[in-house]
Copies of this chain bind each other. A is one copy, B any other.
Amino acid sequence: MVKQIILAERPKGEPNKEAFKMEERELPELKDGEVLLTGKFYSVDPYMRGRMSDSKSYVAPFEVGEPISGGVVAQVEESKSSDFAKGDYVIGNLPWATQTVAEAKELRKVGEEDVPLHYYLGVLGMPGLTAYFGLMDIGQPKEGETVVVSGAAGAVGLVVGQIAKIQGCKVVGIAGSDEKIEMLKSEFGYDEGINYKTAGNMQEAVKKACPDGVDIYYDNVGGEVSDGVIMNLNFHARIPLCGQISLYNSKETPTGPRIQPMLLTRSVLMKGFIVSNYQDKFPEGMRKLGQWIREGNVKFTETIVEGFDKLPEAFLGLFSGKNQGKMIVQA
């Protein structure tokens, strides 16, 4: 018998403990091409709130009565696949369960980069890879350019800034508190920071922080913060569109200044993406990030909660700011 955590009911507004239920379940027998896994580290992420509703999105909603799932680092206990041996560590989109049976082809082997295993849920996982491909493939940073990052203190933004520094850019972070701005500058190599809650006119604040204009705007938030940055774009600027978190709770279609005339007259490129667009290149991204971590050029911060049973509590803690950086549960 293994423990698993299911979606008990769809929350309305901010979720609470009633949304989750712990169950025991028997595991099915292992078939060819499958492996038996024990969970080690579980990722809890704000995007999971969206999957708890049944509204349409490009990620399917969780089912009521079925386990919550997400990024998990697990260890192989038993294998009927030639791809994995007992003792291997793997990562995959897996249920919140102490043990589970999974198809080998849905898993990726990890643990060869000589970094802590939970890094595969953060700087070497989706947040790090999102930062890497958005900045490097869409942003195409060049030495001496100015890079602005919104949501800079988030799990993605922290890494974007550090990669941009490695590329020889000036890096300006936008975040929502003076403490975050201070952390970006003192610990994560950001050159300048803008607290959008106290900055007043964003266009002026960005202009002051970026006297040479903005060459790359890595956008995690959208809305009025982005309006202010876009007014400062240079000719041939690039905008990797990674998130629009300021608009996620809008009930009606949000409106704002039309940006196309600006993109047109300055020959700007804007491109939306999700990290899975780059699935074929994940090994390249992980190799690069792993190298920079070992060299000390990319640092990361996380909050690790101990105990499988704490998964719901850790998830709910995201909404009251209980985490610094990536939030992870260790079984």
Contacts and interface: CB of A to CB of B under 8 A. Distances in A.
Residue among A264, A266, A268, A269 with the highest chain B CB neighbour number at 10 A: A264
Contact of A263 (B58, B256, B270, B277): B270
Contacts of A241: 260, 263-264
Chain A interface size band reads: 20 to 34
Instruction: Tell me if A's interface is mostly helix, strand, loop or mixed.
Output: mixed
Given A243-B264, A247-B261, A260-B241, A271 B272 contact: no
Contact of A226 (B226, B247, B260, B266): B260
A1 interface: no
Nearest to A235: B58
A259 B259 contact: yes
A272 B244 CA distance: 21
B274 A267 contact: yes
A211 interface: no
A241 B257 CA distance: 17
A226 to B, nearest CB: 7
Q: Lowest 6 CB-CB distances: which A-B pairs, in order?
A: A264-B272, A263-B272, A269-B271, A254-B258, A241-B264, A270-B270
Given A255-B255, A259-B259, A267-B272, 20 more contacts: A58-B265, A222-B258, A222-B261, A243-B264, A244-B260, A244-B264, A247-B258, A247-B260, A253-B258, A254-B257, A260-B270, A263-B272, A264-B273, A265-B272, A267-B277, A268-B271, A268-B272, A269-B269, A270-B270, A270-B271
